[in-house]
Structure 1
């Protein structure tokens, strides 16, 4: 949607141009009006204007000078110049200054609409150019390290990407891996004395450790690295083909990675005077193996409390598995809290169904996993309740509040039913409150308009009255009522005008004055726009 500014020292011209423009057809969200260049510049400082329609000859600064000032600060803003003088010098100056069009007064409505459509088309094409393929590719190259990091984090955290989408991202980010490649994960943690460094020094140190590790690994492996969410350095490595002769057992591959891990530790100690711990995962198929080995590597770090000197752990093929497994659906992104914060209640309920499906299939006799689910879900619901200004118990009838404890649920079915009921009560209450809030806001907007029909009313004035941004008020009003604020104000003024035409002997210009139309021809034009006939024709039809 576009914002247009009309500038002329004659109010009737400004109002006439504004009334002529079909805003919905031209995708114009806001029309700003200024009656001097000073007013126009003030509006430009507050709003992002896409098109200025300005008279050339005005007291003080001319429209040509205004165009120059606008292009100094906002080169993308288009300008249409209006003039009552068909002078060659004006036209020449307008063309040199970069005006989108040059129209002679009185302006023909169709010519004006075509000129505005052409100018806004230029604005649209310039924005499209900004997001063109070449620009996108350049931006991607500039942000390549960050984009590579983001993709690796997604895979480490178990995000499932469609095969074609993953292939495309690997190719565009120039990552030398293919789906099905055998890869291993190395996780590196800073130890003494690095853990005591301040943020800036530690960031530089992590960069240096990454360089050391890459230097050690790159002669033997293709490497993809990032700093993961716990602050560890994660390296996905694919050993070179020459390092994997046919028939060599996996234990040899593991031993080679262990030697490289030890070399990284020695180089860091020698050149950076500090220690790092290294966890080396088993090789497995890319990408599905990454999330599993990453989880195992994090578990290894949690199980090994370092003395500060650094250690190396290799997750061998026959490593002992933990007897207690993780409830995967509960923590797989997006989490229940993510969905609740986004207001995606349907997706939250679907996620809850998947959690209980996994509970019933894999942990049917585990009270601990059921308790884990109860805590995680009620915690997420309580967080949303508190953000909304309520307590969790506020959504339950008084007779049910005492039953919101884990011990009150004897079966998975009861727990599932209880959590779904709690979420449904919250959803109903919060959505009703949001709807009530919109109704109250619309009532306040209507009351303000009714009380100020005899004056020009702008979105800015309405926004200030309800203490909200005018763009938000406009969008909210349109989404709830299906009618724009501009259309509503026009309709209510014309309806009241029609009533006075039928019931009083007031002159037409007097009726127009009552509803802020100081220019009788403009009032007649607006009335005909709504009723399809002039006020006099309307009065004649309804006279007794």
Structure 2
């Protein structure tokens, strides 16, 4: 019979679930409660927990973090998430693909009972003796975290890629292993999300991506392991002992996995299927799969077989972008964007794009853009320093899709700002507005120019053309006018007047004031206040 644990920081919610379900009817003989993650971990250490109902949103440590801890130490425990946030409902079906369920509060007890019955059936099925090859069975029965660390050490060359070194490392860690064992790796690359997701949602979805890979590619973890790499990449390693045509099997599994990810996770994923290798050959095989992934800048949601679909470096002539620089300078933004996109589409049609060529195209196009901005006095590092622009730039060389998205972004942003600069009156007004808002601060000409993304000398030229004075002169005269009004109409201390218009040095303020008024601040106040009293 089975035991169940309810983890929720709301005592009433826990008691409601305990009393609302006929546990014996479901085959549950014991129900435990935990109101904190610490209490839950203590129960796991002292009791056998077959099923865990866990709230996601808890103080200090989330339910997802507890779930990761449980998966590392008690992988046979079936887990069901509870939450009161319907915003994550789109992840419900996705999580179910990974042998988990996701129930919204308030919990409908009939739905909860069905879910628990499903978990009971899964546990009973997993507990049956599964017939594998001799070695595949050993690996399945072993702790997954120990195996994952072993593979990561091979892939990172902490364990040298030699047969004797791998065998010795396995023996040192008490991992059942023989040199004749063979494995088939699949590199899974998450290419992009198709909708905006928060960091919390992304974590849930990445967790579900892993569980879905275990469900579909590994058939509920019966014959392999999913290893988390970096940068949205997973590595599935399958025991290849029991399959005559494992490549065909993996191709079919990856097709189902990609379809599920597009449907439930709103993302593009490509899979790179390697050849059967021995343990000490895994480093070189994963390296080759990584090179294939790196060179795939053209295709989304595609499966590559290393034995037949290798992406080879290509040699193509890039367009002469000096012409595009001139066109951009003359305002032909749309035309340049059209020609650049057409060139990339042509290369796609000819299978003529790899990572190196895409990076060269990106660098040359960026140079053409920056040359145009420099000619117009616009500071590129200021214009494109916002979070959105930086994100577009970081992803630009990942694929042709991302490169075209980046080009559209930088061209449209530059075009909009160039039009603004060329209407110098609007730029001058923005500078004047900025000066008025920050009059009490220690403003410099460079800081003001940065606010409008312009070179300080270029800003000075267009500002003087419009107002008849340099930016620094305008700033001083604005400060002087405010000081005169404050001295004449208020009793503010002169040091406070100086501070109010951005002068930290009282003596410097007095000298500058007298230089332009022939009176020091005290004399100016006395004169104007006496004139007002005579009226």
Question: Is the TM-score greater than 0.5?
Answer: no
TM-score after normalising by structure 1? 0.28
